[in-house]
A and B are shown apart, each in its own frame.
Chain A
Amino acid sequence: MHQLKIRNALICDGTGAPAYCGEVAIDDGRITAVGTRLDGGAVTVIDAKGLALAPGFIDSHTHFDAQITWDGLATPSLEHGITTVINGNCSLTMAPVRAEHRAFVGAVFRQIEEMPAAAFDAGMRWNWETFADYLTAFRSHIGINVATLAGHSMLRLWVMGDAARERCASVAEITAMQELLRECLDAGALGLSTSWVDIDHEHRPVPCRLASPEELSALCAVLGEYGAVMQVVPEFWDPDLLCTRIDILGDLSRRHNITVTFSPLFDSNATPDLVSRALARVRLQVANGARVVPQMQTRPIDVTFEFDVPTSVFSSRPTWWATILKPAAETLRDFQDPELRRQLVDEAYNGMQPIAMEVHFPDFIVSRCHLEHNKPLEGRRLRDIAEELGCDPVELMLDLAVEEDLLTRFSAISVGHNNLERIVGPITDPLVQIGSGDGGAHVTRFATYGDTGYFFSRFVRDAGALTLEQAVYKLTGQVADNWGLANDRGRIQPGLAADLVLFDPNTIDRGPEIAVADLPGEGYRFLRRAVGIEQVFVNGIATYSAQQGYTEARAGQLVSATRQKAA
């Protein structure tokens, strides 16, 4: 007699093999039997009614490091079928962090991940310093499986103090960082994350960017001892820089026998050959024995903004950037200054595009108005409204912002990674892993959720670029293989953890982007609800269903890499 049996399911087992109608038995959080028809009954039997049953999706690029301490479900990832999140990407983690560095780390995290300060401060209890104590702080109340990378910038800060922001490390400091990384890995870190591009809240390189090549190699040597993975953010917008970084990663992979993964592999109209060149370089490195894994996100970039908070959409236009960096009252005054307005309008049409994005001001959508009489404008393009009114679209945007005290919300839709024709090949390439979703980050700018549903709706159903089984593999088995998790998760197979998602392959999708005020303290974030996800099981326990929402179950586990520590 099994504890739970799911019958009449279209089983996509996470290997890419053809789906079949069958049954899965679950006992004590593990899959105990899989087949077309299983003997024996079960205490609980669920009739899947022909829906697809897949391993829980694994999201390899998230930033729930802070949120997971107050929201053990990492909402809304779980309702999109994600049963394991990998936190700590891009060199940023909440541990190990000494008490004296909390303010700095918090400021950097909020800057890079666009987390509102009020939410961060209200939610973070921050009563730990070491990596082990950080994991202890949330392990008892998680409903989703959580893996965490050790952030290179944090290792430097711990060992070098403020000098981590200023200089290379000494030999003794590198040795100390190696010891600290071993401590993190022993405590349960999945690997190491680093960055070659990120800047802090004072526009200086994050500490890991001050590392010498010797320091990075020394840390990779430790990863080699553990069979652990390194994640890195390269200069993803420049083909020559990216290809050179891929060579560096290939070298580190071969030298230390590690898997290295970079994110994002990002398509842009500014450099239309970038992805194909980068993939060719990855192929070359892989053919020569390296394990280099590019991560590509499924969704295009949408950015939503109000003028009271600076947003990267304007960062390449100096007059706009200087104006919106000012206090709100000064920005309001500048928006009404005739000479400055002339400059702003000119720069809107003729200014440089931001990195890897293509922004056309007249195509901005008025997504929310503050004043009642402006509400009819919501959901409409500036270009269309301006044409009706006989005015310039950029002038219209400025007028609206001024009239509403900068509270009008605008959206720049599909401004990067939006060329389906170019993306469909790479995203289905066996070398490319789905990732880079950034769940938990940029919460006030765009919804980083629903990439799984979008993958099925856009690339499986609409484009027909992958089969259902191939898409499931790319969200489960392939990720587990790349990250050393395959001995425990990522497939529907007896003995593995019963992380499962039941969904309708004909309707699975992401819902519309909505603003929800569910952060600690004041403020809102953007998210998307799931469509077509029927039920999600984490370690055999029903944790979400379309009918009942989230349950009280907290069966999530800490996930660490398969240990292959050298004898």
Chain B
Amino acid sequence: MHPIIPPVRPWTYPNEGDNWQSIAARAFPERSVEEAVADLQSWNLYLVFRPAPAMLTCSDIVFTGPPPA
């Protein structure tokens, strides 16, 4: 990303084979996985409610912070 353009929200790409737990562990290593997953899911409802059989893909954006107030 461009060094002087801050992102609108912090985010990450999933790695191949990732699930909510593994993303949470990587993005928030200092937090309990359970709490971090709950936060992640609340910030990414578009992924949580994506109907099966669609899955998390490596090109998805996963927000790792809340929407701006």
Contact = CB atoms under 8 A, between A and B. Distances in A.
B35 interface: no
B63 to A, nearest CB: 7
A168 B14 CA distance: 11
Contact of B57 (A205, A240, A241): A205
A205 B58 CA distance: 11
Interface in A205-253: 205, 208-213, 216, 235, 238, 240-241, 243-245, 247, 250-251
Contact of A211 (B7, B11, B51, B59): B59
Interface in A168-225: 168, 196, 199, 202-205, 208-213, 216
A245 B54 contact: no
A284 interface: yes
Interface string B43-62: 00010000111110111110
A134 B11 CA distance: 40
Interface string B9-28: 10101001000000000000
B69 interface: no
**Contact residues of A: prevailing secondary structure:** helix
B8 A244 contact: yes
A320 to B, nearest CB: 15
A281 interface: yes
A204 B2 CA distance: 32
Contacts, number: 68
Contacts of B8: 240, 243-244, 247, 281
Contacts of A202: 53
Nearest to B67: A240
A196 B59 CA distance: 7
B14 to A, nearest CB: 10
A168 B16 contact: yes
A167 interface: yes
A209 B57 contact: yes
A285 interface: yes
**Contact residues of B: prevailing secondary structure:** loop
A208 B59 CA distance: 9
Given A203-B54, A213-B58, A238-B46, A244 B9 contact: yes
Nearest to B52: A203
Nearest to A255: B2
A68 B40 CA distance: 46
A212 B54 contact: no
Contact of A251 (B2, B52, B58, B67): B2
B12 to A, nearest CB: 11
Nearest to B68: A240
Given A168-B16, A204-B53, A240-B63, A285 B58 contact: no
Contacts of B11: 244
Contacts of A199: 54
A288 B46 contact: no
A196 B60 CA distance: 7
B40 to A, nearest CB: 15
Nearest to A204: B53
Contacts of B57: 205, 209-210
Contacts of B61: 235, 241, 244-245
A247 B7 contact: yes
A254 B4 CA distance: 14
Contacts of B55: 204-205
A203 B2 contact: no
B6 to A, nearest CB: 9
A240 B11 CA distance: 10
A241 B59 contact: no
Interface string A267-299: 000000000000001001100100000000000
Contacts of B67: 240
Nearest to A250: B2
A284 B16 CA distance: 31
A201 B53 CA distance: 11
A204 B68 CA distance: 31
A285 B53 contact: no
A284 B59 contact: no
A232 to B, nearest CB: 10
Contacts of A241: 46, 61
B2 A213 contact: no
Rank and list the top 3 A-B pairs by shortest CB-CB distance, nearest first. Answer: A243-B8, A212-B58, A168-B16
Given A203-B51, A247-B8, 11 more contacts: A199-B54, A204-B53, A204-B55, A209-B59, A211-B58, A240-B63, A244-B7, A244-B9, A244-B61, A245-B61, A247-B2
Interface of B: 1-2, 4-5, 7-9, 11, 13, 16, 46, 51-55, 57-61, 63, 67-68
